[in-house]
Amino acid sequence: MITTLLVDDEPLAREGLRVALRAEPDLEIVGEAGDGPSAVQQIRDKAPQLVLLDVQMPGLDGFQVLQCLSRVPAVIFLTAYETYAVRAFDMHAVDYLLKPVNHPRLRVALDRARQFINADPALAPASRTATERTPKPGTSEYLQRIPVRDGDRFLILRVDEIDWIEGAANYVEVHARTRSFLLRMGMSELAAKLDPDRFARVHRSAIVNLDRIQEIRSASHGDFTVLLTGGAVVPMSRGRHKHVMKF
């Protein structure tokens, strides 16, 4: 049995999860919590293998709950907002569900949790410490994957799949897999999460994967354009030219 804790500040939301989980005979609900501090205490006391965790709650939000723990279970985040997706996967979430929770989508998330928990007992989330979740010397502290919204699901892009990223008001547009995806995040915030040895901000509204650069061409007024493999032409300001040429 996979011991499971439900954490949500809305009683009706917890009731909906209880009803949905009745169809999962290998899951045992060992407790519930309606705020952040209670969630921390119950996780410490009951050491569940899986937590369905709301993001926005009184006292502590879902991310702060995890930061309070020395032992981190498998986590499926629940929220009404897609804004937190990147941060959720930064916290090594198994999955990220938008409210109201769709039952078929919940089953997909639970299957992912089962695979994660059963893959290797030594790697079971209940035995992973907060220290182990911190990047160790020699490992990357930058994003390795980015979740992007695609209809009613999230696609997980490896950062090496990204061709370039374009600023779009309060969003960024990620160009990858011959498609583009909107992500609610500022350019500066995303740039700080990307490895500067692999990505360069060539313009205030453009970040490029350095491995995709095919040509750099002179443009008007001392600026430049960058031609990427695949054919995209991206503007590059003259102030960024020397930085990119170092690579």
CA distance 191 to 118: 35
Query: How big is the chain by its Cα radius of gyration, in Å?
Result: 21
Tokens found for residue 225:
């354009």
Confidence of residue 140 (pLDDT cuts 50, 70, 90): low
CATH of 2-133, one of 3.40.50.10490, 1.10.10.350, 3.40.50.2300, 3.40.50.720: 3.40.50.2300
pLDDT surpasses 90 at 155: no
According to DSSP, the β-strands at 74-79 and 179-183 are unpaired
Are 2-133 and 145-245 in the same CATH fold?
Answer: no
What pLDDT, in 10s, does the model give residues 13-25?
999 999 999 999 9
Q: Where are the domains of the chain?
A: 2-133, 145-245
User: Residue 157: what pLDDT?
Assistant: 87
**Of 181, 2, 8, the residue nearest 99 (C-alpha):** 8
- The pTM for the full model equals 0.58
User: Residue 148: what pLDDT?
Assistant: 82
Class of domain 145-245: mainly beta
What pLDDT, in 10s, does the model give residues 53-101?
999 999 889 999 988 887 889 999 998 877 777 777 777 788 888 888 8
User: Residue 136: what pLDDT?
Assistant: 41
**Of 44, 154, 51, 136, the residue nearest 98 (C-alpha):** 154
What pLDDT, in 10s, does the model give residues 183-218?
878 888 888 889 988 999 999 899 999 999 999 998
